[in-house]
């Protein structure tokens, strides 16, 4: 993506971009193996976040179908959190796309 595409035509100023964030430490057993790069267009990053949340939701749903208590209650709580996060991320993305 070139820098020109990061400029909002309606406002004429740069669109927000990501900062840097690292992950993949195995609970801090080692240095981070992966990272989110700084400078990625925020809308593009949000699209990726929505895809990740949808995948997590589907994985959790598959586990929920097979689980008994007390794990079922934990998976249900996770499902609720994923639904909230996904709804919020999709609402922000829709707001960005439609102004």
Residue 36 main-chain phi, psi, to 5 deg: -95, 125
pTM here is: 0.79
Domain count within the chain: 1
Does 2 score more than 50 pLDDT?
no
CA distances 67 to 58, 70, 75, Å, are 14, 8, 8
pLDDT, tens digit, for every residue of 16-65?
999 999 999 999 999 999 999 999 999 999 999 999 999 999 999 999 99
Residue at token pair 């997590």: 56
pLDDT, tens digit, for every residue of 52-99?
999 999 999 999 999 999 999 999 999 999 999 999 999 999 998 887
Which range marks the domain in which residue 42 is found?
Answer: 3-98
């Amino acid at each position: 993506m070139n820098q020109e595409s990061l400029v909002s035509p309606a406002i004429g100023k740069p669109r927000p971009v990501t900062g840097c964030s690292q992950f993949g430490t195995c609970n801090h057993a080692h240095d981070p193996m992966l990272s989110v790069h700084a400078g990625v267009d925020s809308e593009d990053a949000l699209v990726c976040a929505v895809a990740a949340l949808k995948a997590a939701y589907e994985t959790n749903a598959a586990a929920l179908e097979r689980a008994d208590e007390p794990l079922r209650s934990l998976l249900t709580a996770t499902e609720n959190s994923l639904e909230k996060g996904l709804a919020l991320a999709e609402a922000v993305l829709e707001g960005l796309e439609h102004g």
